[in-house]
């Protein structure tokens, strides 16, 4: 049997890890894989996380299964973090999942069960895992206009014109904040218009929010989602604790359903539990226990929020440094989009040939398509990156 299996194409992001490790140059720069790094180049364990783990070591008394829904304290805490203060909070139900990718797949499987003829509309460009997850769940996938390649901003006019044509068999997949890979986010006016169109046209909004707190802050980054949640009868949400809690390897995420009433959402969650039982069964406990411990403790919650703000300030400081560096190097404003974008990433539009030159000639690693992980950059590397990009663009 196995001899019939052809070797798959290498993952464009993960394959860079081994290439970078095997590069002997000491001045190489890794801007590929999407992890946050501090000013020492380390993806740190947050102090709030370390303290929560110490609490768990002292208080945890069992490693027994916790059930298909996962940690209910975590579920309620994450639901509140995203939907607190909205009318949707009382008609929502949350399922702990193995990361946001697990949430995406679980929600996709629910869609395939409840609305098998649905077409899921994803942005152009979108997170690399959106399309394959939806396709493998048996759903049709189409793209809507999103990024203007010249301005590097959202083409809201083109996007909303397409959204206005969607109907009851369509699902609109949106990035809640800090769009991956582009860094270009929707305005609140666009979120409002999407909410109006969802009410008029009957399509189902689906929000993937993996970077809350790394754009304009925890509350500001949830504004669009909350506006939508208050306005529409039904909503799907996938969320991740990988970035804002630094729990990448713990695979901690959640799938949230908002229904017309609470019973609809609870029934949907029960079906997701059934679907999960046939795949990963139950989610891992450790990451969720850390998050629920932090969010339930005033001191740890305050510490976590302060650390997250520091991460946010660092990323935005790097963005400002890039804008200044490119203005000095080019005597122009063509790279000001780095300052307008939000979160960990920006999409440069560099061709694959120029990306190959950056790697070969300058030891700068970015993924195919031109996404740059700003959160992986060091301040002392800004000048080298600016010079290299200007050189390959000449």
Domain residue extents for the chain: 2-45+301-393, 65-296
CATH topology of domain 2-45+301-393: 3.90.1150
Q: Classify residue 58 by burial, with Cβ atoms within 10 Å: 0-12, 13-18, 19+.
A: exposed
179-196 pLDDT, tens digit per residue, is 999 999 999 999 999 999
| C-alpha–C-alpha distance, residues 258 and 253, integer Å | 17
Pair 305, 49: CB distance under 8 Å = no
Q: What is the pLDDT of residue 143?
A: 98
Asked if the 65-296 domain carries CATH number 3.40.640.10, the reply is yes
pLDDT at 244: 98
Q: How confident is the model at residue 293 (pLDDT cuts 50, 70, 90)?
A: very high
Name which of 40-44, 225-229, 234-238, 263-267 the model is least confident about: 40-44
| pLDDT tens-digit series, residues 3-28 | 899 888 777 777 888 899 999 999 99
Compute how many other C-beta atoms are within 10 angstroms of the C-beta atom of residue 376: 23
**Per-residue pLDDT at 196:** 98
pLDDT score, position 313: 97
Q: Tell me the mean pLDDT in the region 43-47.
A: 97
pLDDT at 157 over 90: yes
Q: What percentage of the chain reaches a pLDDT higher than 70?
A: 100
Task: Decide: 208 and 242 in contact? Cβ < 8 Å.
Answer: no
**Is 154:124 a contact under the CB 8 Å cutoff?**
no
CA distances to 1, 90, 140, 186, 369 from 221, rounded to whole Å, are 49, 21, 29, 11, 25
pLDDT over threshold 90, residue 76:
yes
Q: Is 261 a residue whose pLDDT tops 80?
A: yes
- pLDDT value for 10: 73
Percentage of the chain surpassing pLDDT 90?
94
For residue 241, the model assigns a pLDDT of: 98
| Tens of pLDDT, residues 340-386 | 999 999 999 999 999 999 999 999 999 989 999 999 999 999 999 99
pTM above 0.85, yes or no: yes
The 10s digit of each residue's pLDDT in 91-115 is 999 999 999 999 999 999 999 999 9
Q: What's the chain's average pLDDT?
A: 96
- Give the pLDDT of residue 86: 97
């Amino acid at each position: 049997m196995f001899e019939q299996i052809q070797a798959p194409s290498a993952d464009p992001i993960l394959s860079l890890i081994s290439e970078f490790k095997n590069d002997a140059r000491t001045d190489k720069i890794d801007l590929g894989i999407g992890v946050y790094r501090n000013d020492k180049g380390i993806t740190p364990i947050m102090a709030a996380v370390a303290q929560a783990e110490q609490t768990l070591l002292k208080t945890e008394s069992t490693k027994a299964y916790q059930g298909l829904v996962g940690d209910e304290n975590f579920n309620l805490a994450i639901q509140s973090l995203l939907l607190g203060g909205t009318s949707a909070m009382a008609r929502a139900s949350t399922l702990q999942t193995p990361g946001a990718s697990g949430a995406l797949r679980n929600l996709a499987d629910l869609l395939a069960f409840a609305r098998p003829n649905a077409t899921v509309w994803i942005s152009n460009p979108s997170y690399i895992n959106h399309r394959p997850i939806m396709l493998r769940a048996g759903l049709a996938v189409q793209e809507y206009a999103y990024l203007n390649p010249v301005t590097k901003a959202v083409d809201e006019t083109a996007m909303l014109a397409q959204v206005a044509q969607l109907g009851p068999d369509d699902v609109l997949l949106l990035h809640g904040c800090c769009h991956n890979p582009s860094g270009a986010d929707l305005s609140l006016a666009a979120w409002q218009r999407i909410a109006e169109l969802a009410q008029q046209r009957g399509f189902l909004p689906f929000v993937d929010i993996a970077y809350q707190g790394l754009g304009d802050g925890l509350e500001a980054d949830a504004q669009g989602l909350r506006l939508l949640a208050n306005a529409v009868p039904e909503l799907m949400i996938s969320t991740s604790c990988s970035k804002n809690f630094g729990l990448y390897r713990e695979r901690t995420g959640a799938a949230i359903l908002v229904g017309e009433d609470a019973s609809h959402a609870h029934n949907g969650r029960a079906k997701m539990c059934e679907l999960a039982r046939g795949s990963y069964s139950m989610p891992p406990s450790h990451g969720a226990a850390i998050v629920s411990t932090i969010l339930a403790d005033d001191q740890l919650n305050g510490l976590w929020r302060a650390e997250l703000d520091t991460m946010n300030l660092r990323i935005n400081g790097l963005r400002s440094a890039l804008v200044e560096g490119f203005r000095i190097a080019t005597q122009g404003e063509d790279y000001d989009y780095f300052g307008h974008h939000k979160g960990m990433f920006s999409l440069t539009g560099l061709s694959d040939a120029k990306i190959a030159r950056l790697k070969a000639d300058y030891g700068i690693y970015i993924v195919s398509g031109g996404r740059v992980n700003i959160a992986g950059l060091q301040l002392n590397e800004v000048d080298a990156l600016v010079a290299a990009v200007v050189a390959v663009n000449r």
